[in-house]
Amino acid sequence: MLSQQEIQEFDAWWATEGEWVEEPNQRRNGMSGVQRIERDGKALYVKRMTRHLFHSLRYPFGRPTIVREIQVLNELARAGVNVPKIIYGKALKRNGEWRALLVTEEMAGFCSIDRWYSQHASLPFENETRQEMLRQIALAFRGMHSINRQHGCCYVRHIFVKTSGQIEAGFLDLEKSRRRWVRSKAVNHDFRQLEKYLSPIPVQDWQQVKAFYYAL
């Protein structure tokens, strides 16, 4: 049971307005959307969901998927994987309907891997920056899979990289992540899913990522 102060805080975040980066869409009998806002000089992303639930043996009647995403983000952060920093996350049931919020800080300096390739198409495969970026992607996957976590929605738009200054890689959009009892199942699922829609990552680059991954 949330206190009145917690309910007021939830309502304040729910009422924030900004630029839609994911227009509200109706699916799973509910709504989901993401807005970008400015707060204290920082860019934040506010994900709002209603009736987006996952079901399990522990929660046969369903729990908001954002609750699971918060858990995953915290687990990956502890494992040293670059993921968005959580500013606020909560779910509450109002008039029989689940509402859930996840507010995260922008991954400053990072961009999606598809955007990176559109900006650095002329960079040769042998370039040190490009090779280190591919190694960092392998490290990010390795860190996620080391705790038996499967991304679950592994597409190029959810892999983020930074090559200005310290080169790093990480992930976004982990609401479909799940834990696998056998690590290889997480690896195989994520890699097969990504390889179905690999463009604009060149096959040569992806093979290099896997070479780094299995050499670690």
Strands (E), 168-208: 168-171, 178-179
Q: CA-to-CA distance for 29 and 22, rounded, in angstroms? A: 17
Which residue shows structure tokens 């983000």? 73
Per residue in 134-187, pLDDT tens?
A: 999 999 999 999 999 999 999 999 999 999 999 999 999 998 999 999 999 999
Per residue in 183-208, pLDDT tens?
A: 999 999 999 999 999 999 999 999 99
Q: CA-to-CA distance for 81 and 185, rounded, in angstroms? A: 19
C-beta separation of 51 from 141 below 8 A: no
| Mean pLDDT on 9-14 | 94
Nearest to 83 by CA among 169, 201, 210: 169
pTM of the model: 0.92
